[in-house]
Structure 1
């Protein structure tokens, strides 16, 4: 679900006072202050580890007094909140509050199991390190949701449809959900609450990590299952909307406006890293709203054109800067969504609008002062998109609202109310200022948080050509084995920075590693032409149960059971758009790609990916995809019959000795003629596409008919043609053993 980006600086716009306030009354004990906004405001600064009390700023009022003037300004120690309650265990030391560096230690009573850290440390931004510590006894339908530090929980029954409510202890402000319900999925609705000091800030590192992670989850979600249909919709119509809304009112200084524009461009570049084509819309607002790029504009899917228009838009474009009309900006979004809905209906396509993914990203440093409460208009947007109306289908995946509070003068309850509340995701943040927002997006643009994510690719290319094909299939590795001056070719897939997955039959029993070469596409050259990069092999691993001669007594000249091998490279692969890891079953990465809370076991992965008698899949032949169908159940019987026709298996009494459950099967001419594999394809992947992720379920192993002549593929017309692939579900534990032994960083499931 990608973005509807709302960049806004909504604050009370105070004109310069007619009466000067006494500057001697704004001095701060232990810190310093700066006069800003033509003398109408002062901003306080304190040494590290302290914050200005009673506020970060003071404003000169029309009666000649400063806001909060009766409270002398002083720099106080930053303190982390204390636990109010802790169920199923105890904590120590018990104090009213905690200074930076102090540690809370938790322990659970007998019969309870600890989840989360045993020790949590008070940090410089008044937040505790780590996640909420919970003592679980698993006695409810849902697990204990826990009590965040500083929170009070009402409700101890965790049965289905039971609710718990949270409040914060005095002086603390809540971010997250005030109420959560135990769902049929055994998960709690909403997001975990957090109780924070009014001066607590999120660091750019925290924001970049949480926002980038959540945004990736959004990208993985779609209800459009058919790849060709989704390709047309995304490229031609746009199943994603990104709205960028910029505050250009008087309260925003020009330098901050420029920084906000640069942050927006960084965000657009970040989106481009995911190789998708959303529609963009840019809105600027002060007392009214201006469309810089409209949702209906022809070139609003071209990120370069969008950034050019954003660059050309000037701070001076708004003649009336007195107001901060956030409502007008949201109303413009609402009206453009209505127009988009009508556009689809007029073309006889009522469903595409409801499949369009939207995210709101709101950046604010204050409060609106005209145009009505933005929360009311946000509710209208939710109603239009049918979000949260029906319990049986909340449609929450089609709208994400991220809110960034910038600076001290913000309405924290308001920004929390506007933000989405989703389990295991953070949607509301509080940063010090606009500069920190840019720093956050700068860190998000780091390719390491995208390129090492398994199963991503630039799939939706308008035209497949030499330049973009490596980005469409970035997991493919070309393997060469040189023997007596002759070169044999195989394929493989990138599993991790140093490991390639391929077929064991490509290699002789004692293959010297110096005879094996691996080539992977590196970063494009300056002329954008892709270039293969050569890697040397450090170690070669073959599955111990791959024994070709093991079934000769059964008439099988060569057995392919456990046809899997791993190549360990001498140097690490640099992950780029042309070199990324593939997803394989039974890993945490694939569980995340499947977007299913229950996808925590291998069998669940297998049921999700291989259910049905015919499963749509593909293999990559000559850097072109070949669509095939995996035959299961009754359909698999045709594979057994076809295998009996293979010349090397005609004397086998029991064909299931050759076609064991180690293998997945494709081929034939029903329901369509399927392109056959060829010798050079051996070791390559059999891939199932799940939403926008690519998951390898098999390794090209052997076939009933040779469809290659002089190294070229010939057309398939033979109904008995079948291709067999080593199922990764049957060999994942061996792959896990090797990669874990080498500390390669791929996280596998336990079963």
Structure 2
């Protein structure tokens, strides 16, 4: 009888639904998951500058009521925190509250110097623009740490070992350090606190800026200048563990988990652009923790393998998704570290273990509800790594814990307590959802410190300005205009701050540099000189029936020394084979030049792209196949049918091994090249980097009519590109004679 009653109770519970008429919002909209059944969630949305009060979400409970059902939901105006106090200065206007668009104006008293912005404006996410404004008399051992808006400070002496503490005004949540100490190096311990509304979110741009700058403190690329202020430098042979911890609890759901997985893969891809090979450990957790990738795995330092393992991991691996056991996830990290230390000890390298820089990325959409307080497990990890234990050597540079709270149900104090606290760095982030996290990882590619890394673009970004889309997508492309007996349009690519790579056939020998106009990202550059390959001679094969020969179709433009290219997100160098930058892109440090050709051009059909442009249309990426080996014979046969080559006895006199070939309709129809594309690059994409292997030279058919590309590809149409591998010695010779900073590899 008891068993029957239990079954009946369960059946009734499962049939319960919450009343959908009770979830309306005034001034906004909402979505409901699972039709209002038990466990379904209502999520509210409001227009920009407003937020849903009293909560972002409601959940259907077993009693048939929504959480907080009696409270009506309304979209209220976003308000930024108001100043509690401002030391040694004044501000205006003084108001009981500040809404979006309001601006605060600060002024320091006589004898005090202002640090930070004079004006700060309230933003749509309830945060003030800029950093904390401080009035300092420079009389302390440490600088005045300031008082963030919304906070009060205890302690006004800034001598060594003096401490200050902070509290947020009622209703605000603190991110950062509640207490800070003046250290011997004249810096303050911990992270500057911020006082936030419960509905405040970080924008992807804000997170990209702060997270990326923090990560770059510990990551080195081949082209970065030495920085004496780095606490640790992770070089290509350095030691780094990266732990990615994914919340897979019931509230996350299949779709959001897939998004989090996709965002994590994107992060690993971005990290693979740097000249490091960290070991990855990926942990998925719900009621228990599952190691998707372990530190001990032989391929845990292979980014491609790690991404593949993560891609294969499925949400339903967690049979019980009810709980959020964050402590179990952190305990798994602790066990991996113990196992790694033992492995180092067996090899007699225990000291090396303590030199490993550990980075933890924890993503969660809610507070822990089982397994105990995760903050206790974080203390164990810190003690094991000897981080923050000894005052004389806190070793804080060997552990970075970044916590990403996703959505409105997170426990803000909890994620703040778990994250690292470091001077001038931010490790705690609250994003609106996992989609915003993916957007932030997309934005990671644009960093001032890596503008000079070759072959990067922002092609996959979700926030491209349509007016600048082409330059951001293809930041290495150069537009060249030559005035001689009319106007000739060509393309080129940026090799360095002073040199442009293009085609020799774009120029006549007697062209004057003042007639050559170079445009990059809308800016005109002055040409100092141009160099054509000494073996380029268009009339050299007339005796063989070839009206114009294109062998060695390569040229270099040198810009005026007072007019160099300033690298930016819209102007970057391209990668060319046999250089140190390309070795980094191919993940072949120390390999000879010959390995690049084997890697890039090893197949009979190689996927490649060229950049096309038509009249009054933006540049576009065109996908083609480079035909090599036996496949190249079709290019020779098709070339024989070109009218200009009908009198050529041996077609290989025209189509020499100088050229790479695309075109035709087998196995697919390759898009055609047009005259205005001449000098532009033929590119092979390697992850998110592009390596130039060819220069657009000539073709058997004119595919354009008055600047418009003919869509129908002819069966025998073929396009030919100068093979860069064939002219690399000359490019290297010119650049080295001009003392250009482009490092070439030995053969």
- TM-score w.r.t. the length of structure 1 is 0.60
Distance 1:571 1:149 in 2: 36
Q: 1:142, CA displacement in angstroms?
A: 0.9
Change (3 A) 1:216 1:534: farther
Contact 1:300 1:306 in 2 (8 A): yes
Q: Which runs of 5+ in 2 are unaligned?
A: 1-11, 457-494, 502-508, 510-519, 534-551, 581-589, 595-732
Change (3 A) 1:53 1:575: same
Change (3 A) 1:190 1:50: same
Change (3 A) 1:93 1:578: farther
Q: 1:685, CA displacement in angstroms?
A: 9.0
State the match for 1:397 in structure 2.
397
**Is 1:27 paired with 2:12?**
no
Q: 1:682, CA displacement in angstroms?
A: 7.2
Q: 1:106, CA displacement in angstroms?
A: 0.6
Distance 1:211 1:533 in 2: 42
Contact 2:116 2:132 in 1 (8 A): yes
Change (3 A) 1:309 1:534: farther
Distance 2:211 2:553 in 1: 34
Change (3 A) 1:578 1:440: farther
Q: Which runs of 5+ in 1 are unaligned?
A: 1-14, 457-473, 486-495, 499-511, 519-530, 542-566, 583-619, 625-677, 688-693, 695-711, 713-751
State the match for 1:407 in structure 2.
407
The 5-angstrom pairing of residues 354-369 of structure 1 reads 354-369=354-369
Q: What SS is found at the alignment partner of 1:513?
A: strand
Contact 1:516 1:536 in 2 (8 A): yes
Q: 1:19, CA displacement in angstroms?
A: 4.3
Q: 1:155, CA displacement in angstroms?
A: 0.5
Q: 1:285, CA displacement in angstroms?
A: 2.1
State the match for 1:60 in structure 2.
60
Q: 1:349, CA displacement in angstroms?
A: 1.1
Distance 1:172 1:43 in 2: 22
Q: What SS is found at the alignment partner of 1:355?
A: coil
Match of 2:528 among 498, 509, 513: 513
Q: 1:48, CA displacement in angstroms?
A: 1.8
Change (3 A) 1:50 1:109: same
The 5-angstrom pairing of residues 3-14 of structure 1 reads none
State the match for 1:138 in structure 2.
138
Q: What SS is found at the alignment partner of 2:219?
A: helix
Distance 2:234 2:166 in 1: 45
Contact 1:517 1:537 in 2 (8 A): no
Q: 1:32, CA displacement in angstroms?
A: 2.4
The 5-angstrom pairing of residues 156-235 of structure 1 reads 156-220=156-220
Change (3 A) 1:327 1:533: farther
Change (3 A) 1:330 1:576: farther
**Is 1:575 paired with 2:573?**
yes
Q: What SS is found at the alignment partner of 1:345?
A: helix
Distance 2:48 2:553 in 1: 50
Distance 1:102 1:680 in 2: 54
The 5-angstrom pairing of residues 238-637 of structure 1 reads 239-446=239-446, 450-452=450-452, 513-514=528-529, 535-540=556-561, 568=564, 574-576=572-574
Measured against aligned partners, the alpha-carbon deviations of 1:200-235 in whole angstroms (never above 9, x if no partner) come to 1111111111111111012259xx99xxxx999965
Contact 1:17 1:60 in 2 (8 A): no
Q: 1:47, CA displacement in angstroms?
A: 1.8
Q: 1:379, CA displacement in angstroms?
A: 1.0
Q: 1:291, CA displacement in angstroms?
A: 2.0
State the match for 2:705 in structure 1.
none
Q: What SS is found at the alignment partner of 1:348?
A: coil
Q: 1:65, CA displacement in angstroms?
A: 3.3
- Larger RCO: Structure 1 or Structure 2 (Cα < 8 Å, ≥ 6 residues apart)? 1
State the match for 2:101 in structure 1.
101
Q: 1:570, CA displacement in angstroms?
A: 11
**Is 1:76 paired with 2:76?**
yes
Change (3 A) 1:261 1:16: farther
Distance 1:32 1:264 in 2: 30
Measured against aligned partners, the alpha-carbon deviations of 1:290-310 in whole angstroms (never above 9, x if no partner) come to 222211111111111111111
Q: 1:373, CA displacement in angstroms?
A: 1.2
Q: 1:683, CA displacement in angstroms?
A: 7.0
Distance 2:35 2:79 in 1: 33
Distance 2:566 2:21 in 1: 68
Measured against aligned partners, the alpha-carbon deviations of 1:444-485 in whole angstroms (never above 9, x if no partner) come to 13476623379x9xxxxxxxxxxxxxxxxx9898999xxxx9
Distance 2:400 2:209 in 1: 17
Change (3 A) 1:449 1:90: same
Measured against aligned partners, the alpha-carbon deviations of 1:598-649 in whole angstroms (never above 9, x if no partner) come to xxxxxxxxxxxxxxxxxxxxxx9x999xxxxxxxxxxxxxxxxxxxxxxxxx
**Aligned-residue CA RMSD in angstroms?**
4.2
Distance 2:71 2:564 in 1: 66
Distance 2:74 2:189 in 1: 41
Contact 1:125 1:201 in 2 (8 A): yes
State the match for 2:663 in structure 1.
none
Q: 1:432, CA displacement in angstroms?
A: 0.5
